[in-house]
């Protein structure tokens, strides 16, 4: 089963929930943790994995052999991202705009375009306390997170209980992270900002046809608005974590809820059971 | 015209609350919300839309089933696994158009994509340019570029001195689009290990794009030792920590009241935010 943890708004507690869920379930399931927030990966701060491997992630970008090029302009014409320009008798490649689709090299009539690799980030593998760990790190200054996220997700082992820590927002990096999940856990904070962005996150999950449930973090008097929203949208509220200075302090030191306040493990195990029940009901078969 | 962009790396550190307060403090400015996938600034500024425009960007492949002979070439060549069973999974389609170029039957066309909307609104604090990216859409960086362009035109035509921009979290495409060419980046961080980790990465992006950074530690009193670690790191990098703002429930209460925090509560907190704005102005005018 693959469960992604998303939120819309940043800083609501995705990593807090994802890491404690992993630690609480590690004695019951084979847990694999994928941090897909490749722009700002933070789960490693809490899980402190032993990193055992590293791999550069590259996208293929064109390299034009000017001795073969007739400057016909076909490549520039077919590139949807304006990554190639022909200026007189020069072919210019703007590789930071290239999405690596391969159209230019395939369609060049002179076969003058080959592809070389351009590194956009790395993925690191490791383990911690019986949990398999993978995360991606986007290189500083790189714009495109999705190819790196795809690479992190290639590491999914299907029989595992896979937890995906997603980035904030609702656009392509989030879609890339959560698509293919069996369930999406949406972590919100009970403020008008949190609720506004929860609404967007719910629409994203629905667009992808992924069932979702809500975790309210830093619960307060504004909770009723969130609960009312979830009732209208027919989304279950599966867990509520109070606004508590001790929790905030543990978080600030990079300590998970499951380690710093072990009583919480029971709540995360129940959270897992609720998710499992929803997923099984939906698919009509027993997943583990 | 001087452009300030407020960033953080990590989400939820208080960017929008700080920008909302600057809206109330600054005169002669245009406000811009560049967090186009989860825009929240409007919840504090209560805008009246004056102009609304559709944002068309990118394309999606569409297969004409009548002319498709199911040869499979498109599926084989698509590097984004967006075609299976001779259907396009539009969520995965990158819009590169490779399939439509190579289809022997010319059965694939590229359809323009409505990716969102953008607005110019009036608020009691001045004009606000903001946007809404469509659900699960791409090209947030391009929509950010539109918002910034509109904010610049608005500032030009009204002779405003400042553009104050609320930026997105992260360090990728929409952040780069919000940052490049700005006069100053104010990084709002929090004294958590995640906040520090993400601060270092977003400062790296500022260095890469040669934008002057300035740091504000929000909620500085939630951890005793981490603020010092941030100050030491910044000192080592030659970056000034302009202000420390205390943790205060007033931030959350102000959001619930739909007000900038500085308008909601006039105590020690507002003097910290006012001092921050003065420092930001010094940097913008230097």
The chain-wide mean pLDDT, for chain B, equals 96
Report the C-alpha gap between A188 and A226 in whole angstroms: 9
Sorted by where each starts, the structural domains of chain B and their CATH numbers stand as: 2-46+124-285 (3.40.50.300), 57-114 (3.30.70.20)
Q: How far is B9 from chain A (nearest CA, A)?
A: 7
- Confidence at A64, pLDDT banded by 50, 70, 90: very high
Q: How far is B138 from chain A (nearest CA, A)?
A: 5
Report the C-alpha gap between B93 and A103 in whole angstroms: 14
The answer to whether A136 contacts chain B (CB < 8 Å) is no
Report the C-alpha gap between A197 and B200 in whole angstroms: 26
Phi, psi of A149 (to 5 degrees): -65, -40
A216 with A226: CB under 8 angstroms? yes
Does the beta-carbon distance from A171 to B209 stay under 8 Å?
no
In the numeric block, which tokens belong to residue A280?
A: 């099984």
Ramachandran area for residue B210 (φ above 0: left; ψ -120 to 50: alpha; else beta)? left
Residue B68 to residues A1, B72, B74: CA-CA distances in angstroms?
Answer: 36, 9, 11
Report the C-alpha gap between A237 and B120 in whole angstroms: 36
Cβ-in-10-Å burial (0-12, 13-18, 19+) of B79 comes to middle
Architecture in CATH of A2-30+159-283: 3-Layer(aba) Sandwich (3.40)
A2-30+159-283 and A59-119: identical CATH topology? no
The answer to whether A82 contacts chain B (CB < 8 Å) is no
pLDDT for A91-112, tens place per residue? 999 999 999 999 999 999 999 9
Residue B60 to residues B37, B109, B174, B237, B263: CA-CA distances in angstroms?
Answer: 20, 8, 21, 44, 45
Report the C-alpha gap between B127 and B130 in whole angstroms: 10
* pLDDT reported for residue B139: 77
Q: Please compute the mean of the pLDDT values over residues A121-130 and round it to a whole number.
A: 96
The chain-wide mean pLDDT, for chain A, equals 96
Q: Shortest CB distance from B223 goes to which of A140, A191, A252?
A: A252
Chain A CB contacts of B191 under 8 Å are 252
Strands B2-7 and A237-242, bridge-based pairing: unpaired
pLDDT for A230-254, tens place per residue? 999 999 999 999 999 899 999 999 9
pLDDT for B15-59, tens place per residue? 999 999 999 999 999 999 999 999 999 999 999 999 999 999 999
Report the C-alpha gap between B108 and B98 in whole angstroms: 10
B189 with B213: CB under 8 angstroms? no
Residue B268 has pLDDT above 90, yes or no: no
CATH class of A59-119: alpha beta
The answer to whether A94 contacts chain B (CB < 8 Å) is no
The DSSP output letter for B221 is G
- Confidence at A288, pLDDT banded by 50, 70, 90: low
Q: How far is B4 from chain A (nearest CA, A)?
A: 19
Chain B CB contacts of A145 under 8 Å are 170, 172-173
Compute the CA torsion angle B75, B57, A106, A118 (nearest 10 deg). -100
String of b and e for B59-73 (b: at least 16 CB within 10 Å)? bbbbbeeeebeeeee
Shortest CA distance to B192 belongs to which of A153, A93, A95, A15?
A15
Q: What percent of chain B has pLDDT over 90?
A: 95
Residue B153 has pLDDT above 90, yes or no: yes
- DSSP three-state, residue B148: helix
Q: Where are the domains of chain A?
A: 2-30+159-283, 59-119
Compute the CA torsion angle B234, B240, B241, B242 (nearest 10 deg). -170
In the numeric block, which tokens belong to residue B227?
A: 């603020």
pLDDT for A155-170, tens place per residue? 999 899 999 999 999 9
Chain B CB contacts of A103 under 8 Å are 96-98, 101-102
Cβ-in-10-Å burial (0-12, 13-18, 19+) of A269 comes to middle
The answer to whether A171 contacts chain B (CB < 8 Å) is yes
Shortest CA distance to A191 belongs to which of A7, A2, A65, A4?
A7
Q: How far is B190 from chain A (nearest CA, A)?
A: 9
Report the C-alpha gap between B11 and B190 in whole angstroms: 10
- Report the complex ipTM: 0.94
């Amino acid at each position: 089963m693959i469960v992604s943890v998303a939120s819309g708004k940043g800083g609501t507690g995705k990593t807090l929930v994802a890491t404690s869920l992993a630690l609480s379930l590690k004695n019951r399931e084979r847990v694999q943790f994928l941090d897909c927030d490749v722009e700002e990966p933070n789960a490693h701060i809490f899980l402190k994995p032993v990193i055992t491997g590293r791999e550069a992630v590259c996208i293929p970008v064109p390299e034009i052999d000017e001795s073969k090029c007739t400057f016909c302009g076909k490549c520039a014409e077919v590139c949807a991202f304006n990554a190639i320009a022909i200026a007189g008798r020069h072919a210019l490649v703007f590789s930071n705009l290239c999405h690596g689709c391969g159209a230019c090299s395939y369609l060049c009539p002179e076969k003058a375009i080959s592809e070389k690799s351009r590194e956009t980030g790395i993925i690191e593998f490791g383990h911690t306390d019986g949990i398999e760990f993978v995360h991606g790190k986007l290189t500083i200054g790189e714009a495109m997170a999705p190819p790196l996220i795809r690479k992190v997700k290639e590491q999914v082992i299907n029989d595992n209980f896979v937890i995906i820590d997603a980035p904030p927002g609702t656009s392509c990096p989030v879609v890339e992270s959560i698509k293919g999940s069996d369930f999406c856990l949406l972590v919100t904070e009970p403020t008008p900002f949190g609720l506004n962005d929860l609404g967007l996150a719910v629409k994203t999950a629905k667009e992808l046809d992924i069932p979702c449930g809500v975790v309210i973090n830093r619960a307060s008097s504004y909770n009723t608005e969130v609960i009312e929203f979830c009732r209208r949208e027919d989304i279950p509220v599966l867990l509520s974590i109070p606004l508590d200075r001790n929790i905030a302090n543990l978080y600030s030191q990079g300590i998970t809820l499951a380690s710093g306040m072990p009583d919480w493990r029971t709540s995360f195990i129940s959270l897992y059971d609720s998710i499992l029940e929803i997923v099984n009901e939906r698919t009509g078969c027993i997943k583990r | 015209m001087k452009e300030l962009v407020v960033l953080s790396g990590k989400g939820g550190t208080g960017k929008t609350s700080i920008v909302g307060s600057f809206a109330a403090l600054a005169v002669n400015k245009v406000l811009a919300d560049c967090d186009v996938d989860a825009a929240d600034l409007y919840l504090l500024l209560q805008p009246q839309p004056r102009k609304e425009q559709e944002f068309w960007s990118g394309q999606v492949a569409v297969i004409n089933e009548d002319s498709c002979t199911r040869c499979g070439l498109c599926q084989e060549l698509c590097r984004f696994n967006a075609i299976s069973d001779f259907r396009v999974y539009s969520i995965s389609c990158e819009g590169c158009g490779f399939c439509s170029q190579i289809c022997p039957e010319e059965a694939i066309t590229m359809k323009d994509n409505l990716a969102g909307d953008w607005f110019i609104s009036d608020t009691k604090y001045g004009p606000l340019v903001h946007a809404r990216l469509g659900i699960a859409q791409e090209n947030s960086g391009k929509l950010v570029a539109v918002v910034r362009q509109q904010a610049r035109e608005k500032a030009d035509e009204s002779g405003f001195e400042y553009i104050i921009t609320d930026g997105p979290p992260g360090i990728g495409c929409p952040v780069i689009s919000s940052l490049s060419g700005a006069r100053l980046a104010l990084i709002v961080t929090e004294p958590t290990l995640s906040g520090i980790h993400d601060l270092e990465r977003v400062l790296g992006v500022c260095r890469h794009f040669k934008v002057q950074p300035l740091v504000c530690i929000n909620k500085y009193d939630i951890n005793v030792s981490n603020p010092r670690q941030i100050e030491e790191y910044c000192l080592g990098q030659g970056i000034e920590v302009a202000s420390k703002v205390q943790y205060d429930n007033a931030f959350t209460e102000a959001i619930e009241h739909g007000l900038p925090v500085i308008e909601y509560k006039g105590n020690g907190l507002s003097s910290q935010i006012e001092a921050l704005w003065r420092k930001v102005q010094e940097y913008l005018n230097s």
